[in-house]
A and B are shown apart, each in its own frame.
Chain A
């Protein structure tokens, strides 16, 4: 399952790279990208644990850049 989320106030490119590295290390994630250019995060993960993965990804992002918000639709 693959889903894209909008990110707000993602201010630094290096932070985006760090977030991406951290989210890719999460269990159940097949592939994640955090794009500073499009201000979007794409997560591809197992359907069964998808919601948990998203929660964990949100935490990863808060850890790297506390001002950055994930828009969960």
Chain B
């Protein structure tokens, strides 16, 4: 609580005690009114003062002015306890609103507590502690265990484990050694490391994330603008209603003034649309904050709103649904064992830098004794000839097998097939594929369960491979052999047929598609500026399973927003109606104003929590 809020709290407490005491005193008539004026003024003098100032500025529909009129009016018709109580509860509501909003702002700020405070930089062999924005590119910084890594860079010395949970939502720490990149905002857990900086603070990952979340407030959701427009009309309408209610029945129908003025005052008490105006943006703010804790950065409430409605999700294949690197899928030996076949292939390929060769070597796993390997010659576009353990082997594609005249056969599996032959004797083949990410199939299934109608995969890869991947993952539709421009065309075609479409890519080559889709989602954005720039929603790590989570989060936020709108409007409408009919009294009206506000704010705070 701020000092101002503490003071208000004391005033509320004092006024509340006084009200109770006065209510019990056996005083009647005007004296009772004068006594109630004391707590009224204690708790409400600042409201009255603002009301005067605001009316001088021509702010007729100011909530403080209206509250002043409502309570003074209650005094005038001798509803003394009600007058004091309305002011008392109004102030309680204001205080609560201030505290609740302050707290949620702080807890969102705490989620975003990834900004490093300082950096230890090594200059001329001396350690110097400076602000991160004073470190230049190419300097060496020292990060001790337990500290936040202040700037993006490459480890020069030392090895450690880093926790990127605050950035990606991934709670499993990752090992980092010399030569590997570390990202600002992650926490260095185990060892001291020296890091060569690769960017200034302003361009670092952590600064970009913070800027993005702050700026997300500028893009408003449709409901948000609707509520603001609605609020502009609601208050004047209710005030005019109150005037008509106070004047027409007494003047035209000869009804008693006191009754109708009282009913009009009830209108004034519920004339503030605060519950809506506070809770809707608060819900979005909470939703965006809660998502950022999961490593899902949403650039504006409007994207959150659209994501909740998405019915078609279009994926890029390589790097998004698949890992974008090759791995051994199957080993089909002939004559010899599978291990022996892999051993020969790995030994033959052990000097090669090609991704296919690397995947075979990594599948082999064990150490390869280089003394076993004799001369290795590359046969361009076909494979290689290698001498291993004194024998000659050929490792390569079908063209190579044909060239040497080996009796090979193709594989029924889809993928890159590497054949192996000893002289002209065929030994079998190894099938290599770009592997789907481990959670990709689950992510697609989860999206379906959430009611996404169609999942589509776009790729530049060949038909056969694309179909195989799509089938494995359960994707509904697949378009292969596309050039980048054709991906845009495919998305446009689907948009024209009325789809609410999200495109998910790695942000590297698909910027035009990202911008064209209703929501562009870039994944694996750690350290990729292009992705952060062009996407509407950024998934910090490269797990497709974050996507159903993002959809769930956005839907929950929208549900809470709608709950609040319906609840607040319904309660206000009922109170207006009952008030006009003389059934509701001032106490109802206070609930309609402050009670609804408090409940709506409490409900909005749920947006911050985790979804299961």
Q: Which residues of A contact B (CB under 8 A)?
A: 9, 11-14, 17, 20-21, 31, 33, 35-40, 42, 63-64, 66-67
Please tell me if the beta carbons of B281 and A14 are within 8 angstroms of each other in the complex. Answer: no
Please tell me if the beta carbons of B59 and A64 are within 8 angstroms of each other in the complex. Answer: yes
Inter-chain contact total with CB atoms closer than 8 Å: 58
State the CA gap A12–B102 with chains docked (Å). Answer: 12
State the CA gap A72–B272 with chains docked (Å). Answer: 31
Please tell me if the beta carbons of A14 and B217 are within 8 angstroms of each other in the complex. Answer: no
State the CA gap A66–B51 with chains docked (Å). Answer: 11
Asked, given contacts A63-B57, A63-B59, whether A14 binds B272 with beta carbons under 8 Å apart, the answer is yes
Sample 19 A-B pairs with CB under 8 A, ordered by A number. Answer: A9-B4, A11-B98, A12-B97, A13-B277, A14-B272, A14-B274, A14-B277, A17-B228, A17-B231, A21-B232, A35-B218, A36-B278, A37-B105, A37-B285, A38-B214, A39-B105, A40-B217, A66-B54, A67-B50
Most chain B beta carbons < 10 A, residue from A17, A31, A42, A63: A17
Q: Which 7 pairs between the two chains have the least Cβ-Cβ distance?
A: A13-B278, A35-B217, A37-B285, A13-B277, A14-B277, A17-B228, A63-B57
Please tell me if the beta carbons of A37 and B218 are within 8 angstroms of each other in the complex. Answer: no
Number of interface residues of B (CB under 8 A): 27
Tell me, rounded to whole Å, the shortest Cβ–Cβ distance linking B270 to chain A.
Answer: 14
Q: Which of B199-251 contact A (CB under 8 A)?
A: 214, 217-218, 220, 228, 231-232
Interface of A, secondary structure class, is: mixed
Task: Kindly list chain A residues whose C-beta atoms are within 8 Å of the C-beta of B273.
Answer: 14
Residue among B50, B53, B63, B220 making CB contact with A14, cutoff 8 Å: B63
State the CA gap A27–B101 with chains docked (Å). Answer: 32
State the CA gap A39–B50 with chains docked (Å). Answer: 21
Inter-chain pairs besides A12-B274, A17-B228, 8 sampled, C-beta below 8 Å:
A11-B98, A13-B278, A33-B217, A33-B220, A35-B218, A36-B281, A37-B105, A42-B218
Task: Kindly list chain B residues whose C-beta atoms are within 8 Å of the C-beta of A66.
Answer: 50, 53-54
Task: Kindly list chain A residues whose C-beta atoms are within 8 Å of the C-beta of B105.
Answer: 37-39
The proximity string for B residues 49-67 relative to A, scoring 1 for CB distances below 8 Å and 0 otherwise, is 0100110010100010000
State the CA gap A14–B67 with chains docked (Å). Answer: 14
State the CA gap A67–B2 with chains docked (Å). Answer: 15
Closest residue to B46 on the A side, CB-wise?
Answer: A67
Closest residue to A14 on the B side, CB-wise?
Answer: B277
Asked, given contacts A37-B285, A38-B105, A66-B50, whether A14 binds B218 with beta carbons under 8 Å apart, the answer is no
Tell me, rounded to whole Å, the shortest Cβ–Cβ distance linking A27 to chain B.
Answer: 20
Task: Kindly list chain B residues whose C-beta atoms are within 8 Å of the C-beta of A35.
Answer: 217-218, 281
Task: Kindly list chain B residues whose C-beta atoms are within 8 Å of the C-beta of A63.
Answer: 57, 59
Is B282 positioned at the interface, with any CB of A under 8 Å from its CB? yes
Closest residue to B235 on the A side, CB-wise?
Answer: A14
